[in-house]
């Protein structure tokens, strides 16, 4: 057909627009689709069917037009001009594989970049042509000779492409002498009073094609420090700094405004804060795992205080919005297709400033809960924040609201909520209620250490040594540390060993007490209390004399 599928066209436009394309060879020009796509280029058309040349006025639109079979054209012209780009648009399926390989090889000699667009599904086609005006004609060159091209077959015959994407029925493949400028990556961040973090932030993000910072009202010199980067480092050309105002304050509107400042033709957006640091190799890893169809990336994030989990604030340019006044979430547009990529590499570390107040969070979370009463995660964050302020009764009520919500179905988070309720009751002095909730937490997520350690600690305080020992050893039997935000680093340190040692001592299990106390010291050798406990156990074991006699014998 003189016209071809729209599939793949936007990819060709996106990639080639970023590369040298002053001169373009359009093989199989048809209706002149690529002429319209690259209006500023000097273009040469090769079209085998003279009717198309006349009907679609190709000679008026292209600088040069050759009405010829391209196989003859490249063979008979020994001194062809070189081109920045050659586009083989829906052409190779009309010839044998052997002819296609020969043609591709010759085109590579005269073009720095070669673009192949080809159907990658079984796609038979006859010689009948129906034009847009409804008229018919027969063109024998429209018949598909090879009907079973695929990505594997393309790469087997022509070699691995530098870029490829499967878009509907069309595969687009690009080979080039130049580095393919894909993906274009933007890092974006909002900032307020982050002057001390500015240099560290930019140093970690500078490998991005664009860094966009939206200052939301700093008074400490953050804006000036950002702008000073242009003077201190003349090579800084990828940094854009803006001042925005969001009143009354909320994080989602600020992030959406920040994201809107990123040009539309970027492929990947990396959302971070100025107190976060991208790790060396972050860009190379994104380039490795991000495919043309990818819209979101999950990656390892270090939240600080030893808590690491998968995060997902790296996303495609379009089809996303931030939602939530605080602890905002990146939400896909319901019309968008979400395709996730994943990496286990630690890409981002949070290095917070402990002097900064989080006093505004509670009001913002309360606002978010009112706006999104159906979102369990927001409800949980709000309830947890209440515990930080010591509002035990309010926290218990809101945590129960979370547990009763229809979509609160992640057992790790449900377990966390139950642990928090137990802590609230413990703070209120109701040991039995606290114990009941810690036991419920263990039943909810028995495969995690956190509830067992919480229960063991409560039983330690109650001097219930048999149950304390059982709970502590249950915790120690769990070896899999899940990489989720509900993880508590303390339970993977000395805590369970320490609780087991104390319980074992009080149960007369002196050998076990010494063993667990030694393991606790091994985990935290600089903790003097643990060292003193181990020394006391070794010194005061009632069976010490019999052990010494056995050693002497």
pLDDT of amino acid 234: 65
Q: What Cα–Cα distance (Å) separates residue 463 from each residue in 459, 503, 513, 541?
A: 6, 8, 16, 20
Domain formed by 185-350, architecture: Alpha-Beta Complex (3.90)
Query: Please, which residues have CB within 8 angstroms of residue 201's CB and are 6 or more apart in sequence?
Result: 189, 194, 272, 274, 275, 276, 277
Burial 158-169 (b: 16+ CB within 10 A, else e): beebbbbbbbee
pLDDT of amino acid 126: 62
List pLDDT tens digits, range 185-223.
Answer: 999 999 999 999 999 999 999 999 999 999 999 999 999
Say if 9-176 and 185-350 have the same CATH topology.
Answer: no
Domain ranges of the chain: 9-176, 185-350, 360-409
pLDDT at 534 over 60: yes
Where helices occur in 261-302 by DSSP H, the ranges are 282-289
| pLDDT mean across residues, the chain | 93
CB count within 10 Å of CB 21 equals: 21
User: What token pair was written down for 251?
Assistant: 């994080």
pLDDT of amino acid 121: 85
Beta bridge mates, 244: none
pLDDT (mean) for 439-466: 97
CB count within 10 Å of CB 2 equals: 21
pLDDT of amino acid 543: 80
| CA 488/CA 416 separation, integer angstroms | 10
Where helices occur in 389-509 by DSSP H, the ranges are 392-404, 411-427, 431-444, 449-461, 465-476, 495-506
pLDDT at 26 over 80: yes
Cα of first residue to Cα of last residue in the chain, in angstroms, is 98
The pTM assigned to this predicted structure is 0.86
* Helix (H) or strand (E) segment spanning residue 351: none
Per residue, what are the HEC states of 210-265? EEEEEECCCCCCHHHHHHHHHHHCCCCCCEEEEECCCCCCCHHHHHHHHHHCCCCC
Residue 202: phi and psi, rounded to 5, are -65, -40
Percent of the chain with pLDDT strictly greater than 90: 84
The answer to whether the CB of 278 falls within 8 A of the CB of 204 is: yes
pLDDT band at 305 (very low <50, low <70, confident <90, very high): confident
pLDDT at 402 over 90: yes
pLDDT of amino acid 235: 67
pLDDT band at 516 (very low <50, low <70, confident <90, very high): very high
pLDDT of amino acid 131: 63
In terms of pLDDT, which residue wins out, 335 or 305?
335
pLDDT of amino acid 35: 97
User: What token pair was written down for 360?
Assistant: 């505004």
Whether cis (ω within 30° of 0) applies to the bond prior to 128 is no
List pLDDT tens digits, range 85-118.
Answer: 999 999 999 999 999 999 999 999 999 999 999 9
| CA 141/CA 132 separation, integer angstroms | 19
Superfamily of structural domain 9-176: Vaccinia Virus protein VP39 (3.40.50.150)
pLDDT (mean) for 400-411: 94
pLDDT of amino acid 179: 94
Task: Tell me which of 143-157, 166-180, 417-431, 509-523 is least confident.
Answer: 143-157
Task: Tell me which of 29-33, 188-192, 355-359 is least confident.
Answer: 355-359
pLDDT at 42 over 60: yes
Strand-pair category, 23-27 with 42-46: parallel
pLDDT at 550 over 90: no
> Which of 199, 232, 194, 234 lies closest to 214 in space, CA to CA?
194
| CA 323/CA 80 separation, integer angstroms | 56
Strand-pair category, 329-332 with 276-278: unpaired
User: Of how many residues is the chain composed?
Assistant: 553
pLDDT at 124 over 70: no
The answer to whether the CB of 325 falls within 8 A of the CB of 378 is: no
Beta bridge mates, 330: 322
Strand arrangement of the beta sheet that strand 83-89 belongs to: 64-66, 42-46, 23-27, 83-89, 111-119, 170-176, 163-167
pLDDT of amino acid 1: 47
| CA 236/CA 395 separation, integer angstroms | 48
pLDDT of amino acid 416: 98
pLDDT band at 231 (very low <50, low <70, confident <90, very high): confident
Percent of the chain with pLDDT strictly greater than 70: 94
Burial environment of residue 542 by CB neighbours within 10 A (0 to 12, 13 to 18, 19 or more): exposed
List pLDDT tens digits, range 158-181.
Answer: 999 999 999 999 999 999 999 999
pLDDT (mean) for 449-467: 97
pLDDT band at 355 (very low <50, low <70, confident <90, very high): confident
pLDDT (mean) for 139-165: 90
């Amino acid at each position: 057909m003189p016209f071809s599928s729209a599939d793949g066209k936007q990819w060709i436009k996106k990639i080639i627009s970023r590369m040298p394309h002053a001169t373009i060879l359009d093989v199989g020009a048809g209706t002149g689709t690529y002429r319209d796509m690259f209006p500023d280029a000097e273009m040469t058309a090769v079209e085998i069917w003279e009717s198309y040349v006349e009907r679609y006025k190709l000679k008026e639109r292209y600088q040069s037009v050759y009405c010829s079979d391209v196989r003859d054209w490249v063979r008979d012209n020994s001194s062809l001009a070189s081109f920045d780009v050659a586009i083989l648009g829906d052409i190779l399926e009309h010839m044998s594989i052997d002819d296609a390989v020969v043609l591709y090889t010759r085109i590579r000699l005269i073009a720095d970049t070669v673009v192949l667009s080809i159907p990658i599904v079984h796609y038979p086609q006859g010689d009948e042509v129906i034009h847009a005006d409804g008229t018919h004609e027969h063109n024998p060159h429209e018949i598909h000779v090879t009907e079973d091209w695929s990505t594997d077959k393309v790469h087997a015959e022509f070699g691995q492409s530098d870029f490829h994407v499967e878009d509907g029925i069309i595969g687009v493949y690009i080979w080039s002498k130049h580095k393919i400028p894909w993906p274009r990556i933007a890092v974006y961040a909002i900032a307020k009073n982050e002057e001390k973090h500015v240099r560290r932030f930019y140093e970690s993000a500078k490998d991005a094609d664009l860094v966009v910072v939206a200052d939301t009202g700093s008074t400490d010199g953050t804006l000036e420090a950002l702008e000073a980067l242009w003077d201190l480092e003349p090579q800084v050309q990828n940094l854009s700094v803006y001042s925005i105002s969001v009143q009354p304050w909320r994080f989602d509107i600020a992030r959406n405004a920040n994201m809107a400042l990123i040009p539309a033709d970027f492929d990947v957006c990396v959302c971070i804060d100025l107190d976060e640091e991208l790790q060396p190799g972050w860009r190379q890893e994104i380039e490795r795992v991000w495919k043309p169809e990818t819209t979101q990336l999950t990656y390892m994030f270090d939240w600080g205080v030893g808590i690491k989990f998968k995060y997902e604030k790296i996303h495609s340019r379009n089809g996303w919005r931030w939602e939530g006044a605080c602890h905002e979430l990146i939400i896909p547009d319901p019309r968008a297709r979400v395709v996730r990529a994943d990496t286990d590499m630690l890409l981002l570390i949070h290095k917070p400033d402990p002097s900064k107040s989080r006093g505004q969070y509670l009001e913002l979370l309360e606002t978010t809960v009112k706006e999104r009463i159906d979102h369990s995660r927001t409800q949980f964050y709000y309830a947890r924040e209440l515990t930080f302020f010591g509002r035990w009764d309010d926290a218990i009520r809101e945590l129960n609201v979370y547990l009763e919500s229809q979509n609160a179905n992640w057992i790790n988070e449900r377990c966390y909520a139950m642990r928090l309720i137990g802590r609230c009751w413990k703070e209120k002095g109701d040991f039995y209620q606290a114990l009941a909730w810690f036991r419920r937490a263990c039943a909810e997520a028995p495969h995690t250490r956190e509830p067992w350690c919480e229960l063991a600690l409560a039983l330690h305080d109650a001097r219930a040594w048999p149950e304390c020992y059982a709970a502590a050893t249950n915790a120690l039997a769990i070896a899999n540390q899940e990489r989720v935000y509900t993880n508590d680093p303390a339970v993977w340190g000395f805590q369970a060993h320490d609780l087991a040692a104390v319980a074992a001592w009080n149960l007369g299990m002196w050998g076990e007490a010494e063993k667990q106390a030694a393991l606790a010291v091994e985990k935290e050798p600089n903790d003097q209390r643990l060292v003193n406990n181990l020394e006391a156990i070794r010194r005061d074991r009632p069976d010490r004399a019999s052990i010494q006699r056995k050693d002497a014998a």
